Structure 1
Amino acid sequence: MKDFKEVFKNLEQTRDELKLQAHLFEADLKTEWEGLEKKWDHVRGQVKPSLDAAKDASENISEAHKLLLSEIKEGYQKIKKTL
């Protein structure tokens, strides 16, 4: 992943955009959205403080968090394509 602050910011923006359209989700997308929200809450609680404090955030992000960010990104992209 590129600069983690940028990746996180982009995911946050995408999430906010999708959240505004959540009322349009079909049942399967609602289920996926709810799963992504749980992952987002987890990663935001653990990663965001590191991103805010770090000069080089890439050193403070574990591989597990990188994978979780990738999963969230892919999920958001899938939902956007479906809408």
Structure 2
Amino acid sequence: MALKDDINRLLEGLKQERDELRLKMHLAKLEVQQEWEKAEKQWESFKSKAEEALEGGKEVAEELAESAKVIGEELKNAYLRIRERLS
């Protein structure tokens, strides 16, 4: 009878662990998706500012380049967070 009790406890424990992991994976997927959507907005902003900086005059280019650099660093960090969550 002790063997059946041990198996039953193992079964219940694994079932609970499985359910918790499934929920965490689902929530992580949502978080990664939200992070990606935010990164996509940053990408569009970065791309736009970078293109303007490359096309503009020296004064305009310096201001836009600095702004693009800040956005680019934020985007780089967002991509790193996404990569870490997917690993």
TM-score, normalised to structure 1's length? 0.53
SS at match of 2:77: helix
Check the 8 A contact 2:49/2:67 in 1, yes or no.
no
Of all paired residues, the percent bearing the same amino acid is: 27
Residue 64 (structure 1) aligned with residue 67 (structure 2): yes
Tell me, in whole angstroms, the C-alpha distance in 2 between the residues paired with 1:77 and 1:51: 26
Aligned counterparts, 1:7-26, within 5 A:
26=29
Aligned counterparts, 1:42-53, within 5 A:
42-48=45-51, 50-51=53-54
Greater helix percent: which structure?
2
How many matched pairs? Answer: 56
Q: Which runs of 5+ in 1 are unaligned?
A: 1-24
- Based on CA coordinates, which of the two structures has the bigger radius of gyration? 2
RMSD, aligned CA: 2.7
Tell me, in whole angstroms, the C-alpha distance in 2 between the residues paired with 1:52 and 1:79: 31
Q: Which runs of 5+ in 2 are unaligned?
A: 1-27
* Deviation >4 Å, runs of 4+: 58-61
